[in-house]
Amino acid sequence: MLFDHTESCAWFGMLKQMADSENILDRPLNQVGGLSAHVVRQLEKEGFSKVSDVVFYLPFRHEDRNKSEITAFQPSPVPVCHYVRVVKTSVRRFGNRRGSGSFEAIVEHASGLGLGHQLTLRWWNMTFMAKVIAEGHELVVHGKVKEWKGRLSMDHPEYEIVNGDEEDEGETIHAGRITPIYRLRGGMAQKSIRTAAWHVAAILPNHFVDDVLPRPRDDGEFAGMSRSFALKEIHFPASPAALEKARRYLALEEFYGFQLRVAKRRREMLSVPGNVMAAGDASLVGQFLDSLPFQLTAAQQRCVQEIHADMAAGRPMNRLLHGDVGSGKTIVAFAAMLRAVECGRQAALMAPTQILAEQHARNARKWLEPLGLRVALMTAARKEDGSGGEMILDSSGDALFSSAKPHLIIGTHALLHNDSLVTDLGLVVIDEQHKFGVAQRARLIKQGRAPDVLVMTATPIPRTLTLTIYGDLDVSTIDQRPQTGVTIVTKVRAANKLKDAAAFLGEQIAEGRQGYLVFPLIEESERTDAAAAVSGHETWSKLLAPHSVGLLHGRMSAEEKDLVMQRFRSGEFQALVSTTVIEVGIDVPNATVMYIHDASRFGLAQLHQLRGRIGRGAHASFCVLFVDDKDEDAKAKLAIMEETSDGFKIAEEDLIRRGPGNVLGHAQSGQAPLRFAELLADTRLVRLARQLADRTLDADPQLARPENRLARDLLAHLPTPGQGMLQ
C-alpha cells in the first residue's frame, strides 16, 4: 500500500522559521537521546543540526509495511512485509576483493505457522552483514519476493531486528508499520533520517508549536487536531486513517495561507475606483452578434453578460474566462472589446505567439471591420494598420497611421514597446495568460487608466484551482461547446505501428484531408530517448512520399513559422510535423488526423489541447497517442483520453496526477510546489480553507490581532503569485 505526496517545500520552511525560538525545537540533535554519534554526524553534514530541522522535514510518501498475515512465502511483484526468524546464515566469497561476495540468511515465519516454507534473504557485496544478523534473530523484512530455480529470495530487503540490540522493547522503526519515506540529500541514509525522526518525536510534548488555523466552527473530521499533533502523526502514523487525517489537516493549513492571500488581494482590488463603462446602447455588440453565422451557446451568452456587468461597475474588472477546447472564448472576448469601443475607449488583445496573434487579427478583421472598426496588428515581425497595410514608422520607431488610431489593437509582447498605438486603453484581454510573466502583464495594463482586465486560458481549470490559484479574480466558465456533429476518435497505440498509421493517414490525404504529427522535442538528445521533430520529419517524409510534409518548431523565426503555417493552411503541405508550438490557437478546419509521439511525456491537459487542433471542420477526426507497447503505466494514464473529450474531467485527472505546478506551470501557479498539491482536487477542503480565510479577514482585515500573528507572518513570507493582475 503506497501513500504518495509531494516533497517538502518553502511553506514548512516558513513554519519552522516562525516557531517559538525558546522551545524544544532548538535542541541540538546531539542532545536527543537514542541518536548515535554516527547518525548525528551524517545528518549534520546535510544541514540537520537541531530538532526543528527534523520535525519540519516531512516524508514525501509512506509505505504500509505492517507484518504480513500470509502463512506462506510467495512471489510478489510489489514489496511485502514479513515477520521472520533466522534459521541459518552463510557468507559466499567472490574473488579476493574485500567485501566481495554475498551474505545470505535463511528465514521462516516467526509465528511458527507455515513451517517448511523458507525464504532466502540476500545482500550482495555486503559480507559485513554476518556481524549484524545471526541465527535466532527475529526480523521484520520488507522487499519483493522472487522465485528462481525453485527458491524464493528477497534481495537487499529493508530489515529490522526485533529481538536483538538494535531496538528497545521490540518497537520497530523501519518496518512492521506505516513507514515514512524521505527525500535523501547527499550521503544521507534513509534509516538515519527515519531514526532521527523517531527519537525526535519521542521527546516532543503534546504542544510544541502554535496553530496557524483558526478553529473551524464545526470541527468535523478535524476535531481535536492541532499542528503539533499532525506534525508528529505524519512522521509515524498509527494507521492509514491517522495518516490521512494528519495530511488533510496540514493541507488545510497550507491552503488557508494561500486563501488568505488571494482573499486579501481581492478585497483590495474591489476597493480600487475604476472607469465606468456605462456609455453606449450595446448596438455595436448587437450588430456583431447578429452578423455571426451561428448562435452563441447559453454558456457564451452568460459569460458575455457577466463581463459586461463587470465593465459597467465602478471598479476595474479582473475576470478570468476559461472553457474547453472549441467552446468559443474568442467570440466572448470580442464582445467585451466592442463594449469598450462603444464607450469611446480602445481595447487591446495580447497573445503569446505571432501565429496566434495573426489568427486573432484575421478573425477580428473578418467579423469586426465590416462594422466600421479599425483593427491593428502589432508583432515583433509585423506592424499593420487598420486597413491591413504596412505601418509607416518615424525615425524614433513610432507608428504613424495613415488614418485615425485603431479601435482594437491585437499583438504579441510587442504591444508593450509601442505606446503610440495605445492612447486610451479601456480593456486589456490577455490570451493564454500563463504564457506571460507578471511584469509583462502589468506593463500593458499600466498603459491605460485603470483598464478592465480579462484573462483567458484554453486550459479548463478545475474548480479548486479557480478558488486557490485564481481566488482573487472573478471567474467566467464556458462549460458548453457548440453542437458541431463532428466526432474525434482517440486511440492509444503501440509506437511500432507507424506503417499502419502512415497507411491510414495516406487514405485521409487521398480524400483531401491533412494531418498533424506531434513530437515532444525539436532534436534528439543524448539525455533522453524521446522522439524528436527533426528526425521525425525525415521519417514521415519517407513514409508519406510523394506527399509534402512541413516542419514547425519553436526555434524557427517568426517569419519561418508564419510561412510554414500559410503553406499548411493552403494545402501545400498535406501533413505537418510539429512540436507543441501548435498547442493553442491553430485553426485549420481541413486537418482531421493527429498522431502524438511519446504521448506519455505530455500532461493530460496538454494532450487535450493538442487534440483540439483537429475536429474543427465538417469531417470526422482521429487522434492517435503513440506509446511504448510495454509501458502499462502510460496506457493506464492515457486511458481517460480514449474515454472522454470533456476537458474539465481531463483537467481534474491531470490535477490529481501532477499537481497545479505541472498543470499550469510553476510560473502560473506562482509558488514552489504545494506540499499537499494532490489534495487540491478535494473541493470541500479548499472551500473550507477559503471560508476560514474570509472569516479571519472579516474579523481582522489587516491581521493586526495577536492571535493572527502567524497568519500575518506567513503572508509576508509567501512568494509573489504568478497570476496576480495588478502587481
> Which domains are seen in the chain, by residue range?
2-63+183-236 (no CATH), 82-161 (2.40.50.140), 283-311+326-457 (3.40.50.300), 488-660 (3.40.50.300)
> Measuring CA to CA, which residue among 278, 231, 218, 222 is closest to residue 59?
231
Mean pLDDT of 84-89: 89
pLDDT range class, residue 654, cuts 50, 70, 90: confident
Tens of pLDDT along 333-387? 999 999 999 988 889 998 888 888 888 998 999 999 999 999 998 887 655 554 4
In this structure, the number of other CB atoms found within 10 A of the CB of residue 84 comes to 27
> Measuring CA to CA, which residue among 631, 630, 582 is closest to residue 610?
582
Tens of pLDDT along 307-325? 999 888 878 888 989 988 8
Give the whole-angstrom CA distance, residue 727 versus residue 725.
6
Residue 469 has pLDDT above 90, yes or no: no
pLDDT range class, residue 401, cuts 50, 70, 90: very low
Q: Which three cell numbers stand for residue 560?
A: 519561418
* Amino acid (one-letter) located at 157: P
Strongest mean pLDDT among 334-343, 650-659, 679-688, 713-722: 334-343
**What letter does residue 515 receive in the DSSP assignment?**
E
Taking a C-beta distance cutoff of 8 angstroms, is the pair 625, 594 a contact? no
Taking a C-beta distance cutoff of 8 angstroms, is the pair 462, 648 a contact? yes
Give the whole-angstrom CA distance, residue 12 versus residue 82.
35
Mean pLDDT of 493-511: 93
All residues at 6 or more sequence positions from 700 whose CB lies less than 8 Å from its CB, including other chains: 708
> Given CA atoms 548, 552, 555, 556 in this order, what sign does their dihedral have?
positive
> Measuring CA to CA, which residue among 556, 540, 509, 623 is closest to residue 531?
540
pLDDT for 313 equals 83
> Measuring CA to CA, which residue among 401, 287, 389, 271 is closest to residue 335?
287
Residue 164 has pLDDT above 60, yes or no: no
Q: How far is CA 711 from the centre of its chain?
A: 26
Pairing of strands 452-457, 318-323: parallel
- What separation in angstroms does the CA of 633 have from each of 76, 349, 636, 639, 677? 18, 41, 5, 10, 21
What is the Cβ-side half-sphere exposure of residue 228, based on CA atoms within 13 angstroms?
Answer: 15
Give the whole-angstrom CA distance, residue 415 versus residue 425.
12
pLDDT for 570 equals 93
Query: Could you tell me where the DSSP H helices lie in 277-400?
Result: 283-291, 298-311, 329-342, 354-368
Q: 310-321 as b/e, with b when 16 or more CB fall inside 10 Å? A: bbeeebbbbbbb
pLDDT for 235 equals 95
The C-alpha angle with vertex 511 and arms to 484 and 538, in degrees rounded to 5, equals 105
Give the whole-angstrom CA distance, residue 314 versus residue 272.
9
Q: Which three cell numbers stand for residue 179?
A: 513507514
Residue 95 has pLDDT above 90, yes or no: no
Residue 286 has pLDDT above 80, yes or no: yes
**What letter does residue 280 receive in the DSSP assignment?**
S
Tens of pLDDT along 143-163? 899 988 888 999 998 887 876
Give the whole-angstrom CA distance, residue 475 versus residue 455.
10
Q: Which three cell numbers stand for residue 287?
A: 450588430
**What letter does residue 376 receive in the DSSP assignment?**
E
More confident site: 672 or 82: 82
Taking a C-beta distance cutoff of 8 angstroms, is the pair 513, 619 a contact? yes
Sheet containing strand 80-93, edge to edge, reads 146-148, 151-155, 119-124, 101-109, 80-93, 138-143, 158-161
> Measuring CA to CA, which residue among 644, 610, 652 is closest to residue 487?
644
In this structure, the number of other CB atoms found within 10 A of the CB of residue 223 comes to 10
Strongest mean pLDDT among 93-97, 147-151, 345-349, 435-439: 345-349
Backbone angles phi, psi at 90, to 5 degrees: -160, 155
Mean pLDDT of 441-458: 72
The C-alpha angle with vertex 357 and arms to 356 and 361, in degrees rounded to 5, equals 115
Taking a C-beta distance cutoff of 8 angstroms, is the pair 401, 424 a contact? no
Q: 272-291 as b/e, with b when 16 or more CB fall inside 10 Å? A: eebbebeebeeebbeebbee
Give the whole-angstrom CA distance, residue 698 versus residue 705.
12
Q: Give the chain's mean pLDDT.
A: 81
> Which string of DSSP letters, residue by residue, matches 62-107?
EEE-PPP--SS----SS-EEEEEEEEEEEEEE-SSSTT-EEEEEEE
In this structure, the number of other CB atoms found within 10 A of the CB of residue 194 comes to 20
Q: Which three cell numbers stand for residue 164?
A: 536483538
Give the whole-angstrom CA distance, residue 389 versus residue 383.
9
**What letter does residue 219 receive in the DSSP assignment?**
-
Backbone angles phi, psi at 668, to 5 degrees: -80, -45
Lowest-pLDDT range, 175-184, 194-203, 465-474, 715-724?
Answer: 715-724
Residue 615 has pLDDT above 70, yes or no: yes
Number of helices (H) and strands (E) in the chain: give both, helices first: 22, 26
Mean pLDDT of 16-21: 48
> Given CA atoms 317, 322, 326, 327 in this order, what sign does their dihedral have?
negative
Lowest-pLDDT range, 14-18, 97-101, 290-294?
Answer: 14-18
Give the whole-angstrom CA distance, residue 47 versus residue 40.
11
pLDDT range class, residue 662, cuts 50, 70, 90: low
Q: Which three cell numbers stand for residue 110?
A: 516467526
Beta strands in 156-199 (DSSP E): 158-161, 178-181
All residues at 6 or more sequence positions from 699 whose CB lies less than 8 Å from its CB, including other chains: 705
> Measuring CA to CA, which residue among 661, 667, 693, 671 is closest to residue 252?
693
Pairing of strands 383-384, 375-378: antiparallel
Give the whole-angstrom CA distance, residue 599 versus residue 224.
46
